[in-house]
Structure 1
Amino acid sequence: MAQRACEHAGDGGYVRLRVMGLLMVARIQGTPASASTLARAAAIAKRLEDPELWVRVERAQGR
């Protein structure tokens, strides 16, 4: 359901919500499976230049 929420958020133009959904998916996946999901979230957060999202991604990455 979390993955579907990410797809719908992105399809609707809610890219910020997609990042938060990807972070939720990564938490469910656990490591090491979450590495690619976190990389996607980080790339989007960087393109959005959203410092709050970037902090959330870094926290999820264990930084």
Structure 2
Amino acid sequence: MADAEGITETLKANDQMEWVGRMNSCRDRASETVYHQVIYTGRHEEYFCRSCFFKSGHGQ
């Protein structure tokens, strides 16, 4: 996502605050996508480790 938006190490070196803001934006949008998949569609199997799922007792 960052590469597609031109968020580079050069930007980080030249304007750290801009880089941080843009990286935070990417992180927030990625989190929103995952939350949407997990909460609203119930497709949590794609995002959680199977062994963790079974250790928690939910997979039995």
Range of TM-score over shorter length? 0.3 to 0.5
**What's the TM-score once normalised by structure 2's chain length?**
0.37
**What's the TM-score once normalised by structure 1's chain length?**
0.36
| Larger RCO, structure (CA 8 Å, separation 6 or more) | 1
